[in-house]
Amino acid sequence: MELTIKGISHNGEGVARNAGKVVFIPFAIPGELVKAEIIEEKKKYSRGIIREIVKKSPHRVEPGCPYYYKCGGCSYQHISYDEQLVLKQKIVKETISRIGGIEAKILDTIGMQEPWDYRNKVVWHISNSQDGKRMGFYRYQSKKLIEIDNCPLLLPKVNKISFLIKEILPGIHLEEDSSIMIRQSNNSRETMIEFINCFAGREVVKRLFRKIDTIYEKKNGKIRLLAGQELIKEKAGKSLFLLGPDDFFQVNPEQSEFMINTVAEYLNLSGHNKVLDAYCGAGMFALNIADNVVSVVGIDSNVRAVKNAKKNATLNDIENCQFISGPCEVILSNLQNSFDRVIVNPPRTGVKPEVINAIVNISPEIIVYVSCNPATLARDLKQFVNNSYKVANIQPIDMFPQTSHIESIVLLQKMNYCSVPGNK
């Protein structure tokens, strides 16, 4: 059947309609006319594949990776980068309007000058096959492994270490759901690997340790250092950070700078502010604003992250940051502190309603919400708007070029707050 692609979904699939029913078609671009075959029928939608492109979009380009149409890691490589940024802005705008019922100012997406070779961390899946052990990524919407020799999104050194890992695969014992994490510091250039549900013998570790600074293994959630130093040093903004194998940290150092700067700009700090950093992680935002506030209280349910946030405060000689481990909804209900600024940086699931209620009760002048999921962002913004806050700006940032993922930074202001920093 011939279908006109009218839009794009949150995960990068083209969106068409057939007899009033939504049809999702991977690798299709808005504006294209395609001949498609329906391969999956659901009650509310269908899924198809392209058999022929009848009318091609002017934004269609040749993917930069030979594995693109098989690997499930990317979904935008067939689209010119300028258009990727436009589409991501549209997705944020449409999602905020459709789910949140909010017509907000959505700024142009901040992209990268060179949208390749940017990831400083990767997790490779490992499996056994008839031809031996294989390393790669999963196919789109499946657990079928695609063997990959080189990923153009990774930093060159991370790809080199990946080649090295591939050479020693025969000496690694695999269990169920085996994988290997590789991380490189953009600041110190130190490298780290973690064997997850797979195990390397002494000779393999010894060989790797000649070129890797830190080697860990993880089994049943327990982490053990095999060789090297415990932590590697990274820098984000003006602060240094010590990172372990399972610590969350942004994988795109260049775009992290834009994120930190935008958060600081939207907070509109005067030097007299008291800031709450909810879901603070290792303290990336807290430590970078510490020299321009009275105090920061960071909260995170990840005990390890809070432990490292405290180490990072000491590393940077910062004394006005307090970090507390525990669920935000529990900690906030017991805090007696007053805050006039709040940073919210939750996981993809968004902010729990009770956390939003607790923040609203604090009544800060400004809330800066950092989101990696437009759908949960829209849901949460609706609750803030219903409690006397207005959405002043939404700034999309492309942290993950060539993929469908999009980060958004939102400036929320109390209704009676006058200044509007960050307007462009």
Which residues belong to the active site?
A: 372
Whether the CB-CB separation of 53 and 32 falls below 8 Å is answered with yes
Whether the CB-CB separation of 254 and 282 falls below 8 Å is answered with no
Give the SS3 label for residue 143.
Answer: coil
Eight-state DSSP code of residue 292: G
Eight-state DSSP code of residue 10: T
Strands 389-397 and 366-371: unpaired
CA distances from 145 to 71, 178, 284 (A): 9, 12, 34
CA atoms of 297 and 186, how far apart (whole Å): 27
CA atoms of 179 and 174, how far apart (whole Å): 9
Give me the residues paired with residue 136 across strands. Answer: 125, 147
Single out the residue of 213, 154, 210 nearest to residue 188, CA to CA: 213
Please write down the long-range contacts of 66-71, taking CB distance under 8 Å and 24 or more positions apart.
67/137, 67/146, 67/148, 69/27, 70/139, 70/140, 70/146, 71/136, 71/137, 71/138, 71/139, 71/140, 71/146, 71/148
CA atoms of 352 and 39, how far apart (whole Å): 37
Single out the residue of 18, 119, 106, 3 nearest to residue 53, CA to CA: 3
Q: Whose structure tokens read 């902010």?
A: 351
